[in-house]
Amino acid sequence: MSMLPKAAEFLFGQVSMTHRFVVRIDHGVYDLGTWSKVTGLTVRWEKLVHRAGNDIKEQVVPGAATYETIKLVRAACTDSATVQRWLAVTSRKFTPLSGAVEMLDFTGMTVLSWELKSFFPIGWSISDFDSGSAKPAMETLELAHSGFLHDEAVAR
């Protein structure tokens, strides 16, 4: 629920306004700039079914969590050079990184944030260049990670 008065929501927007996304690595060591689209912020749990002995009743419990690859998309821009430098550093030396994907509102304020654990790049691409088209070249960055939930401290 919003803490802003209705008049302020009208002035400054809320959920219906356009969002953009920022990726920051290791608390700002690398700022990969803003992105227009993020997919893959998804977690799924394995469904474990257990039945003891002759019992006909099954017990269903959650198993291990799995996370999808995160894909970031934007029009190629000057921040793309920062991404290229970061990829050059990480391509030869594996170092698990920490960082966050932040959803920003149109004023630049953080709406939500997902802290990524042990992530690294697994893909980068740029769309075909076509000067006869009115479409910008789109840059895509793919990140693998070990999670964004803070569930390691929860006793099982």
Q: What is the CATH number of the domain that holds 52?
A: 2.30.110
Q: What's the whole-model pTM score?
A: 0.79
Q: Looking at the domain assignment, is residue 137 inside a domain?
A: yes
How confident is the model at residue 27, as a pLDDT?
64
How confident is the model at residue 28, as a pLDDT?
65
Q: Looking at the domain assignment, is residue 121 inside a domain?
A: yes
Q: Looking at the domain assignment, is residue 156 inside a domain?
A: no
Q: Which residues of the chain have pLDDT under 50?
A: 1-2, 6, 9-10, 13-16, 155
- Encoded amino acid at 73, one letter: V
Q: How many structural domains does the chain have?
A: 1
Helices (H), ranges, the chain: 6-12, 79-92
How confident is the model at residue 1, as a pLDDT?
44
- 93, exposed or middle or buried, with CB in 10 Å at 0-12, 13-18, 19+? exposed
Q: Pick from 149, 34, 152, 145: which is nearest to 83 by CA? A: 34
Q: Looking at the domain assignment, is residue 153 inside a domain?
A: no
Q: Looking at the domain assignment, is residue 151 inside a domain?
A: no
Domain that holds residue 101: 6-144
How confident is the model at residue 6, as a pLDDT?
47
